[in-house]
Amino acid sequence: LAKTTQPISMDSYEGQEVNITCSHNNIATNDYITWYQQFPSQGPRFIIQGYKTKVTNEVASLFIPADRKSSTLSLPRVSLSDTAVYYCLVGDRNNNNDMRFGAGTRLTVKP
Amino acid sequence: GAGVSQTPSNKVTEKGKYVELRCDPISGHTALYWYRQSLGQGPEFLIYFQGTGAADDSGLPNDRFFAVRPEGSVSTLKIQRTERGDSAVYLCASRLAGGNEQFFGPGTRLTVL
């Protein structure tokens, strides 16, 4: 199972763009990169998944360079409600049990 | 539609007691996961079911922990002889076959006094 490294915490202000980078130097050919968000007293919630280049949805963008050894979750114009823990996971999405959670990045958005 | 539900939401027990935690996955989801989460940590994998069978129980910390999913839907996590170190939030998630994401329940907060 590929391991990931993320910053423990980040601070931002309302309206700013936030970029959280995850390192996964040992990513395998079949591995995808998945990000989850977790609010206090709730279970994690899927945000986005990608394999290479760029993926965008209504919540975030995911940038993956050609070597795939890192990825960046981009949250546009954050609000106070984006304060949460963000987890980066890598694993083979065709294997139902190939992804593990690390400690995540605690994002605090300030007014 | 209904999401993953877990009962009870909170459970307080005494050291040495037996507890059962229940998970109702999203209907039709064949994959089911149990995790344990301590304060300030990410979810720690415990066990994964594919249908009725435990496909991977490598995360169970010891033989006091056991989980079942007899009909391939509802699952029960069972903890015998609880210890104070078992105090945590226990999360359940389900996943559709071929799906990209796990859908998590709100968790059960277990406190062992």
Please write the tens of the pLDDT for every residue from A22-48: 999 999 999 999 999 999 999 999 999
Letter string b/e over residues B4-34, b meaning 16 or more CB atoms within 10 A of that residue's CB: bebeeeebebeeeeebebebbbbeebbbbbb
Per-residue model confidence (pLDDT) at position A2: 56
Per-residue model confidence (pLDDT) at position A99: 85
Range B81-105 average pLDDT = 94
Q: Which residues of A touch B44 (CB under 8 A)?
A: 101
Q: Which residues of A touch B106 (CB under 8 A)?
A: 41-43
Q: Tell me which of A94, A97, A99, A100 to substitute to probe the interface with B (most B C-beta atoms closer than 10 Å).
A: A97
Predicted confidence (pLDDT) at residue A1 exceeds the cutoff of 60: no
- Distance CA(A103)–CA(A44), nearest Å, equals 12
Question: pLDDT exceeding 90 applies to what percent of chain B?
Answer: 90
Per-residue model confidence (pLDDT) at position B7: 97
Please write the tens of the pLDDT for every residue from A49-87: 999 999 999 999 999 999 999 999 999 999 999 999 999
Neighbour tally for A86: CB within 10 Å: 24
Contact A46 B101 (CB under 8 A): yes
Predicted confidence (pLDDT) at residue B59 exceeds the cutoff of 60: yes
Predicted confidence (pLDDT) at residue A94 exceeds the cutoff of 80: no
Contacts of B103 (CB under 8 A, 6+ apart): A46, B3, B4, B25, B26, B29, B93, B94, B95
Tokens 């539900």 correspond to B5
Per-residue model confidence (pLDDT) at position B112: 98
Per-residue model confidence (pLDDT) at position B99: 85
Helix (H, G, I), strand (E, B) or coil at A49: strand
